[in-house]
A and B are shown apart, each in its own frame.
Chain A
Amino acid sequence: MSVNLNNSNLATRENRIGSITGYVGTLKDLASKSECGTLKGCSRCFSQSSTCLSMCGLSQLAGIRDVAIIHHGPAGCSVTSAGSYYMSKVMSKKRNVTSNTVYVGTDMNENDTIFGSTRVLKDVILKVNERYSPKAIFVSSSCATGIIGEDIDSIVDEVKEEISVPIVAVHCEGFKSRIWATGFDISDHAVLQAIVQPPRENAKTNKIAFKNFFESARPEIIEMFKKFDLDPIFLYCNSTVEELSHLSECIATTCICGTLGNYLGNALEEKYNVPYVRSINQCGIKGFETWLREIGKVTNRSEVIEEYIKEQREIYLPQIEEVKKELQGLTAVLGMGPGYTFEVTRVLNELGIKVVWALAWHYDKKYENGDVPPSMKYLLDNDIDFETSVADQQNYEVMNILNKYQPDMYLSRHPGSTVWAIKNGTPVVFVADEYTMFGYKHTLEFAKSILDATRNRNFEQNLAKRSKLPYTKWWYEQNVDAFLEEAK
C-alpha cells in the first residue's frame, strides 16, 4: 500500500482493498476466489439499515482524551456526540483519569444547504478552541456538507494560523462506503496526518502500540507484557495526544482486531518502520500463542514468551479440555465483522463446536500489504470449511439462516443483533467485549459461558413462544441470496 498523508481524503475499503458486502457460498470458495482475484461482491435490491462510517471513525477519535470533534452537518449526524460524551466520562473514570473531550455539531439547516455555512464552521472551530483548549481538533464533514461541497479542508487551513494545536479535516460522508470499518481507517488517517510525529533521535523504547476498542483487559495485559519487558499503549480509548504523537517510536504495533488495526499498523510500518504484528488474533489458544510468538519474533523476545506459554498451558489447558467435553456436538451460527467472524469460527472449532454458517458483515479480500487476512489463511491451511455469507448486518438474511438451521447458539457482537436470535428460540452468546476469548483465561471463561447460555434456555423459549417474528412466510421459503444481484 502507499499511504498518502498529504491528502485528508482516504479511499474507501471497497476501492483501496477490494472489500465486499455481498456474497453467499462457502469459506473455501470465498477464499480461493479472493486469492486468485476473481471475487466480485454482489449488491442487494433490498437492504436493511446498518452503520454509518462516521460513527466508527468519529467515536474512535472521541475516545482520545482532551480533544475536540467538530461534526459539520445536521443534528442527526452529530447525535453520536451524546454517546461519546458518556463513553469518555465512564471510560476515563474507570482508569482514574479525566477526559475533557468535546464533540459538537453545527446543526446545519436548510438555508445552509443552499448558501453554505463554512463561515459559521470557522467561528465554531475558534469558539470550541477558546472554550475547551483541546489538545487536537478534528473537523468532520457529513453527507449533506459533502454533497453541497463545503470545503472543510480550506477552513481547516485558514484557522491553522490562529490555532496552536493539531487540527485536521476528517472526511466522513456516510454514503461513501457501505463498510463502516472504512471509518476506522479514516480515524487512523487523521491521527497519522495530524498527530503522529517522526521518531525523536535515539528514541528507543519498549513501548508497543496496542489497538483495541475499550481496554477491558488492560491491567492483565500490562502485567503480562511486563514479564516480556514490553509496555503497551492502548489506542484510542483514553489515549493522550502526547502518547499518540510518539507512536512512530514504538517497537511494534499490534491490534485486537484486524479490521480495526490494519490501516494504522501498515501505515506506521510503511512510514516509520514500526513492525506490524501480522498474525491471527488473540482469540482462543491457537490464536493467543501464535500472536505471542509473532510478538516474540518481531521484538526479539521469543525465549521469555515460550516460557510464559509453557507455564500458562499447564494451568489452563486441562481445564479447557474438561469443558470441551460438554461442548462437543453443539452447533453455531455467527454474525460479526470479518475481524472476528473468521477468528471466532477458529475458536469454536478448537472447542469442538460445529459452525454451520458464518456471516461476516463485510469481507476484505486482502489487507493493505496485499496478503489474504491471516484468519482466512489459517482456516484454509487447516482445512476448515463451512457455509458462509457476507452481509452488512442484513437481519433478514440472518433470520432466514437461523430459521433453516436452528443452531444451538448464535454469536454476535453488534448492538440490536441478539434479540432476533432469541425470538427465533436460539440461545445467544454476546461477545461484544473484544477480550471475551482473549488468551487462556478468557477462552476458558468463554467456553463456560457457552455452556451456561446453552444449558438454560428458559429466557429465549419464553420469549419465542410469545412473540411473532416480523418476516413473512414467503421470505422464509426463499434462498438467503434471493436479493443478491451481480455487481455491475
Chain B
Amino acid sequence: MAKLLDKQRYKCALGAMQSVQAIERALPILHSGPGCAQKLSEQIGSSGYFSPNIFPCTSINEKDVVFGGVKKLNSTIEKSLKVIDADMYVVLTGCIPEIVGDDSGEVVSRFNEEEKPVLYVPTAGFKGNNYKGHEQVVDSIIDQFLEKSEEKEAGLVNIWADVPYQDLFWLGNLRELENLVRELGLKPNTIFGYKRGIENIKKIPKAQFNLLVSPWVGLSNVKKMERKLGIPYLHLKTLPIGATETSKFLREVGEFAGVSKEKIESVIKENEDYYYYLIERYADLFLENRVINKQFSVIADAQYSLGITKFLVNDIGLIPAKQFVVDDTPKKYRKEIEEEFKNLNYGIKAEASFETDGYLIHEEIKKHDYHGYPLILGGYYEKELTEDLKGNFLNISWPVQDKVVFDSSYVGYRGGIKLLEDIYTVAVQRFN
C-alpha cells in the first residue's frame, strides 16, 4: 500500500535501467514516459559508452495511453538495432504500458531472431523499488539468455553483489571482491563494469558456484540459477569490510570452493599483516582525537548498514547505536538480517530498524544519547542533521551529493582502510 515516503532513498523498479547501464555495451530501451531515464539516472559517473540521455525511449504520449504503444515500441526497437551499436538490447517497461495493457513481451519476442539478443524486463514503477528491479534484470538474463551448461570450468565463481549506481561504490566493490576470490586461486566472473559484459554473461552457466555477497538482494536470482542452471550458491550476508569480516569471507569462500586451508590462511596472513601495519601507524589518530566517540549509526541499505556496523564494531571497537536499513527490505528477509546485526564480537548486539520514513529516522537519532559527538554514516539527508548535532557525517549511501567516487571501494582489507580514511578525513577538519 502507498505510504509516506519522506526523504526517499531508493527509486522505482525501472531504476534497474542502471543495472543494464552497468553492463558494458548493453543498451536499455525504455517503454515509458519521456523523462523516466533522466529522473532515474545519476548525474555523476553516467557518461559512458551509453548514457541515460541517449537511451532509446518510446516517450509515451497521451495518444499512446489511449490507443496503446506497441507500434511505437516495435519501431523503437527496430531503429535502435539500426542506429546504436550494442551487444545486447534490453527493453524495460515503465508504469504506463503495464496499466494500459500493452503486450510488450510479445513485441520484444518479435526480435528473437535478430543477430543481437533483445531482452524484455517488466519493471513498472509500482512493482517495487530499484533493488527489486535489479533482481528482475538478472532474472530476465537467466530466463531469456542463459542455458544450462553441462561443461563446467573448474574454479570459476560468479560473484553477485549489490545494485550498480544505487551503490556508489559498486564498481570498486565488485573489483575488490574479484581480487579476493582471485587471491584464493579461483577465477572470478562478474558481469558489471569495464570489460565484463556479454562475454562474462555467457560464462555464467559454466561456473562452479554462485557467490552472493548481499543481505538479500539477488537471493532470488541465485536460487533461480540453482533451479534452472544447476549452479549451487554460497550466500554471504555481510559485505566484507576490514580485516575481521574479510578474513571470515576468505575462509568461507575458500572452504566452499575446496581451497586448501594453508592457501587460505597464507592469503589471510599476508593481507592482515599489511592491514595491521597501517592500523598500527594510525592507531593514535583513532584514540587521540576529541571529536569521535564510540557510538555510531549507519543509515543505508541492508548491505552497508550491516557491513559497516560489523566493521566498526569488530575491527575498530566502536559501539553501535541504532542502525537503520532503508531499502524497504522485503519482510521475509528481515528476521535473518536482524539476527546478523546481533552477531557481533563480545556479545555486542546492534538494534536494526527497517525504516523508510526519514523523518522518523531523524527523530530517533536526535533522541539517542551518543555519549558525545555522534558519528553518522548515511545519505545526504543526514548531513544537516549531523551538523545540528555537532557530529561527524560521511555520505556513504544514496542520495550522494557530498562525494565523487570513481572506482574506490569499501570492500576487503583495502576497503576498510579506505573507509577509515574517509571517516577521519571528516574528523581531522575540526579540533573539538
Contact = CB atoms under 8 A, between A and B. Distances in A.
B189 interface: no
Nearest to B58: A47
Interface string B1-31: 1111111111111110000000000010010
A415 B79 CA distance: 25
Contacts of A73: 125
Contacts of B30: 49
B35 A49 contact: yes
Nearest to A488: B63
A441 interface: no
Nearest to A392: B34
Interface stretch (A81-89, A204-212, A450-458): A81-89
Contact of A474 (B4, B60, B82): B82
Contacts of A416: 38, 41, 43, 46-47, 51-53
Contact of A112 (B2, B54, B60, B85): B2
5 contacts: A106-B5, A120-B3, A131-B6, A178-B61, A471-B83
A124 interface: yes
Contact of B33 (A83, A86, A128, A175): A175
Interface residues of B, number: 76
A107 B80 CA distance: 32
A117 interface: yes
A166 B221 CA distance: 48
A86 B4 CA distance: 20
A83 B38 CA distance: 12
A76 B57 contact: no
Nearest to B15: A76
Contacts of A147: 65, 95-96, 99-100
Contacts of A325: none
Interface stretch (B126-134, B230-238, B255-263, B416-424): B126-134
Q: Which of A45, A80, A395 counts the most chain B CB atoms within 10 A?
A: A45
Given A75-B8, A124-B3, A144-B126, 6 more contacts: A49-B38, A50-B34, A76-B40, A77-B125, A127-B4, A175-B65
B39 A79 contact: yes
A312 B82 CA distance: 54
A175 B62 contact: yes
Contacts of B124: 74, 110
B140 interface: no
B83 A46 contact: yes
Interface of A: 45-55, 72-83, 85-86, 89, 102, 104-113, 117, 120-121, 123-124, 127-128, 131, 142-144, 147-148, 174-178, 180, 392-393, 395-396, 414-417, 419-420, 467-468, 470-472, 474-475, 483
A79 B58 contact: no
Interface in B37-91: 37-41, 43, 46-47, 49-62, 64-65, 72, 75-76, 79-80, 82-86
Contacts of A80: 39
B36 interface: yes
Contact of B96 (A86, A111, A143, A393): A143
B12 A75 contact: yes
A52 B85 contact: no
Which 8 interchain pairs have the tightest Cβ spacing? A52-B35, A76-B12, A74-B125, A46-B79, A49-B37, A174-B33, A49-B57, A82-B399
Contacts, number: 242
Interface of B: 1-15, 27, 30, 33-41, 43, 46-47, 49-62, 64-65, 72, 75-76, 79-80, 82-86, 94-96, 99-100, 124-130, 356, 359, 380-381, 383-384, 398-399, 401
Given A47-B58, A143-B33, A55 B96 contact: no
A131 B124 CA distance: 31
Given A76-B39, A144-B126, A416-B47, A82 B55 contact: no
Contact of A76 (B11, B58, B83): B11
A387 B290 CA distance: 65
Contacts of A393: 53
Contacts of A474: 82-83
Nearest to B86: A470
A85 B85 contact: no
Nearest to B50: A470
Contacts of A110: 124, 126-127
B34 A174 contact: yes
Contacts of B50: 470
Nearest to B57: A49
B33 to A, nearest CB: 4
Contacts of A76: 11-15, 36, 39-40, 94, 125, 130
B352 to A, nearest CB: 21
A483 B1 contact: no
Contacts of A55: 35, 38-39
B2 to A, nearest CB: 4
Q: Which of B4, B6, B61, B80 counts the most chain A CB atoms within 10 A?
A: B4
A393 B1 CA distance: 36
A245 B96 CA distance: 37
A112 B126 contact: yes
A108 B49 contact: no
Nearest to A179: B34
A185 to B, nearest CB: 16
Q: Which of B62, B80, B85, B95 counts the most chain A CB atoms within 10 A?
A: B95
